[in-house]
Structure 1
Amino acid sequence: MAWATAGGHNLASITRHKLRFGIRSKMILIACLLFTLPWFGYNYVLEMEKLLRQGQEQTLIGTTRAVATALNERPNLFSAQASFLRSVEKGRDLYAYELSTPITLDGELNDWADYDGQLLDYGSDYIQFSRLPYNSNTLTFRHVVGKYDGYLYAAFDVTDPRLVYRRKDSSRVDRNDHLIIGMTSPKGEFHRYAIAPYESGWINAWQIVDDGDTTIPLSQDHLVLESKIHGFWRATDKGYNVELRIPLDMLGNKLGFAFYDVNSRTNRDIDTIIGTSNTSRANKLGTILVPSPEIEQILKGIGHTSSRIWVIDRHQRVLAQTGNIQQSNGVWSSSVKYGDNNDSWWAKLEESVLHPLYYRYLLSEPQPFHDDLKDAAKVDGVHIIQALKGRGYSYWRQSDDGKAVILAAAYPIWLDNKVMGAVVAEESTVGIQTLKNRAMEKLLNAMLAIIIVGTLTLFLFASKISGRIRRLRDEAEQAIDSQGRICQAITPLKQHDEIGDLSRSMADMVNRLGQYNHYLENLSSRLSHELRTPVAVVRSSLENLSMHNLDAESERYIDRAQEGVQRLSTILSSMTEATRIEQSLQSADKETFPFNELVEGCMHGYQLAYPEQAFSVKTTKTMIHGAPDHLAQLLDKLIANSVDFSESGTPVEVTLSKLQRTAFLTIRNTGPLLPDEMAGQLLNSMVSVREQENKGKPHLGLGLYIARLITEFHEGRITITNRQDKRGVEVIIALPCQGEE
């Protein structure tokens, strides 16, 4: 590495280790700001979802208000449904669930599997009579009632370890396990019915004719067959099951069931009576709430299919229900438009790549959810409490499994300025979620296209700009060489933008620098040419003056003037030497010769020219294609420079070696080191580090400059640097060499 360019290369090495952050990188960074667009779009869609939810909330409240308006001031819809009771008692006041299918009367209770959670347990809290202290292992039962197509169905799962059937030869029905049904007719008449089978199988009810006296024995004389009420009695491992069917046209608004347990087959006394209510009198019966067909007809007439709607009484019991929450997606579900099937490449890309990514990281598809209120007999919630207080209210809740959000709204039903019930409507947010997902898909697709196109456009734009700047940089680097000379001009760009203006400015600047450098390069020859005439006049005048008889003092001044003229002549000769060499190099002829013989021959001459300086020479046979005279002149300059800076008693080491097709001539001396501030300047014209102690021998620093010119003429390179052991300086000349002949 050349000493003159060592500092520049070190700086370049440091620059390479720094993080480069070019225009394209900056443009890509700016393009990253485009990724904020999906974030803004995502938040916009979320805000849109909030507005849609608010709209859904207002719409659902409006739905409940409309239904409640259709039910206001209609007492016949509530009087028969026990809605005027001040309170209801669980287990005593019964609720008939709306059945989806008819019940097969077989005593198996399989048809009641969907309503297993609604079966109520009857035990010690529902004892009507017990002859002995009650034991829960004697008699308990589970019970539920339902309604389907004009019939009331009842199911009983009775636990009775000692089942006692009616004797076939007995006229009494109360000397065995039996069931008493008490109810009122639609006209308010009180009737009681007894069921006492002889064995497992089909059963019919017998109406009890007792004229209000419940103390008389229940014999066949007091029973009348009621063919409309029938069912099935089936014995089980733990007791027995009973299924009944009662026509709704026989039933009023009060109903009760009571099981009479007989454990002894000998005395057949009644040990325990457990029932839903006391069946002995009408005023002791519990109520039965059957979903109102009239209200159901009103709901169907309104035709609200996008919501699940309940009508409840003031005890929060369901009078009617329509709709399914799984399909109750709200009015927004109808706003989701699906386009026709598209077989384009973009549609396939969306379906196979983009949408799976969206739904994995950003979106979620609506999932089927579970809701326990599907067959609820009683509903509650803050919205219902507020509605029963006379205020419409809406409420958001999670589904039981947390997979969906359900909006519920309630509005009061008025009768004579009193709240008799409420209309409750529920919708899921599946419609809004689906609409949000579709909007998010379209938004993300558009944002992705914008980001890709925008990033690609910015990258291409930055690449074009950076390419133009790099070309301008390369031209600027090639315009001036390491010695500061103008090598070639910069081609101005034609574009009328900032880079074009910069290129034209730099081209004009390089042109002006070239003119100035040309002026400086010719300055020495011009000065030497212009000064030679006055110097010759002064010299001739001094010679003429010295021919006259002068005193000693005058001769001394004339001698000093002649020394100055001689020194000035030497300076002029040195100034023109470089110019002459440049001109001679242009016309010099090259030949192939053994460079090692030239070096050895010159070194013999230097030994005679510098008798007090020791030399060490090592050469290798090397063939060079060049000008021998100029290479000898190159050696003259370098040896003279090394001798001047060598310490006394130390040799100047000259080594000629060859590596592949390059010859290396190394000249080393022991002496002062090169100063750091002179890095990159010693090979320039009129640069010297000499202290100029010898005033009679001027040094203009042209020797190394001439050596550089000769080296470059031979397509080589010259470097000057401090030795690795820091004991002196070494000069390395690399020249292309020829193969051995």
Structure 2
Amino acid sequence: MTLRRKLLLVALCTLALPVAGWLYVRQMEALLREGQAQALIASARAVARSLVVTHAELPQGDAAWYVEQAVNPITVDGYGDDWAPLTPWSQPFGTRGKLLLAGDAGGLYLYAEVRDTRRTRGDAMDGANALAADHLNLVLGNAAGQQRYLLESDAPGAITVRAQGPSVAGLPAEFPAQWQEDGSGFRIELSLPRSLQLQTLGIGAYVAEAGGDRMAVELRPLLDYSSALSTELASLAPERTQARVLSPQGWLLARSGKLDTAPGAHGQPGWFAALVYRSLLATRLEDANLWAQDVPRLDTPEVLRARAGQSVSVWRSGEERGSVVLSAAVPIEQDGKLVGVLLLEQASRAVPLLANRALLGLLLTSFGVLLVAGAILLLFATRLSLRLGRLRNAAERAQLSDGRLDGLFERGRFPMTDAPDEIGDLARSFERLFEAVGGYTDYLRTLASKLSHELNTPLAIVKSSLDNLEHALQERAELPPDAQPYLARARDGVARLGALVRAMSEASRMERAIAAAEPEDVDLREVVRGCADAYRPLAGARRLDCMLPDTPLHLHCAPEPIAQALDKLFDNALSFTPPDGWLRLSLRAVDGGAEIELANQGPPLPAAMQGRLFDSLVSLRDKATPGDAPHLGLGLYVVRLVAERHGGVASARNLDDGDGVAFSVSLRGMPRQRL
């Protein structure tokens, strides 16, 4: 845990008293909300009983067709463009149909869609064929009776709908309609005058492919928004509440009042007071019912529970930011049967932050003092953390992964060594530690070159002494047979020591050369392609594949060290690849640079050696036999130096299929020198 968090936890201990006051206010707020909810439910029950007693026009029956209010003028053309605002509330009929009903001052409009991917057509003038073909059955009913109609057409366009059977007073013998169809089915649109005073409507679709009853219809009464019921509801609903009467299916039948949730309206708390209320005092609120003010059908949770016979209240967020709405839904029952749902909603004005202004002011004052104290402690902890972070960053920058230092002390002293506190003591201890580590690291780095220089003279003396000894023995007589193996072994040991000294000297020169390499803008694709072309003759019977990007890959880098690193990787891979094996050299762009990978067929890497492969004097090759040149394992070390010089890393892994290994070098580019 950080220092800032620890100090903040200490500061939070002073929250005991304000928290007690906050819990008290929350409890009071919960009681007030409960009382307000019970009062609204009681008002809703009283209004519901009044609607029943006054014999208001409430729906009868379990199902009905709802006639929505036309939003835009409707043109009867058989297309559903004019019905787009109403389509979310389409009413299904049968298994394949959807029905939309809308009304305005001009009349009643009907739009039906039937899914039918394989049309069966018949002669519209032949009644038998018309019933066998795909068609729509329509029944209109008024106070005098019911009239059946059949709608069918062989082609899209205008059709004339004629009555079937005896005529009924007040219902038309025929009327026009529009028939349209496509690959998904057919659509019918028609309009009827309001003067018909329709009470019921039946509709059914017959699709010949699916079969079924050719004359079947779903006959239901018609429901729509009632102005008379709305006027009666307005006289019964409480002041400053929005009341809505819904059918048992949730359709809007009447409405009065308006829900005003704008901040500052009619005593509604402003946005800041509402924000504090919702954050500190209010218990959980339901999500706002977006777009629920102007929809023809409501399926909110409280409405569904009221339709099941329960009286329920819900607190929810209003559509306006920071507003709170109380909603109460009660069933309207007549003779023990559900005939509708009454929904009362009001914007909460008494509860949010107005329950107890004195306690709230005290609570805000306490929180203000605590915030100031917490801010002071936070600033102190932040400053302390930043100082420790500077110390940590300096320590991480000073030492690289191989123990070398990056010249931190050449640019200046260790940070915060002049501080008089404990952090200054820690910084000075770090400085002394890194000075000692830096001196020892420099000694180890130059040890190879020193040893190679110092061993050259003793090796030369031993070699010349062996030559002189062999020459002296040959002058006297032929070398004894038993002495020749010992002399050969001595010469072999001198040769091996000489190769070791030369390799150590070469490694030191490579380190200096890599560090002094000058960067330039090059196309890595050409560098890798050139190396691959040079390696193919050396691969012999082995297959060498080169995978390059399609576009040039430019990078600011030193191409010669990169080519030397690839030489080392190829030499290492070639020694482990079978004579008939394969090698794969690939180049790809990565975020911020490039990655070169050389994969080869061969034995997998030992798990214990994967983290040490790129260290100096580490090798996985078999021990050399007498007479063979020794292998110091400096090649992969040089690869690592090249990768680090370019801001990247070198890594090795076993292939997923276990058929070989892959060595990769990531390059991030070198910094550009400023003139």
TM-score, scaled to structure 2: 0.43
Higher relative CO (Cα under 8 Å, sequence separation at least 6) belongs to 1
**Bigger radius of gyration, 1 or 2?**
1
TM-score, scaled to structure 1: 0.40
